[in-house]
Amino acid sequence: MKPKLGKIPEKAIQAAILDYLALRVRPSGGMFWRARPPQYIRAKGSNQGFAIHATEPGMPDIMGCYYGLSVGLEVKTPTGTLRDTQVAFRERYTRAGGHYFIVRSIPDTEKALIKLDDILEKNR
């Protein structure tokens, strides 16, 4: 399906954010990566198959470690909303001590990093 004129697909936003994080964070001691969705395996010529889940249902698009903090970044378009599995994952993840952000742009990502910097500063 082609994106509507004037709308940036979520994949493009993800790629831009990952590029930004590589420049902004990697040199200073952090790392982020794209979480892979389930892979579907099907025999040639068959319409039956199965999914290999390498991730937890609802897991954010981008996971990372920022100066020892576990971070999840769920990338959404300007009008995108969380699915039920994503809400459930966010609740479990933050209860376990993870830091979860919904980001729609590079400026949103920078705001998330500033919040993480504030947390690190308070814990010194």
Helix (H) or strand (E) holding 81: none
Any bridge partners for residue 72, and if so which? 63, 100
8 A C-beta contact, residue 35 and residue 7: no
**Total-model pTM:** 0.83
CA distance 47 to 88: 31
Tell me: the pLDDT tens digits for 18-64? 999 999 987 777 899 998 766 666 666 767 766 666 678 899 999 99
User: What domains can you pick out in the chain, each with its CATH number?
Assistant: 10-122 (3.40.1350.10)
Closest CA to 92 of 54, 53, 52, 59: 59
Tell me: the pLDDT tens digits for 111-120? 999 999 999 9
Region label for 58, one of left (φ > 0), alpha (ψ between -120 and 50) or beta (otherwise): left
Mean pLDDT value across the chain: 88
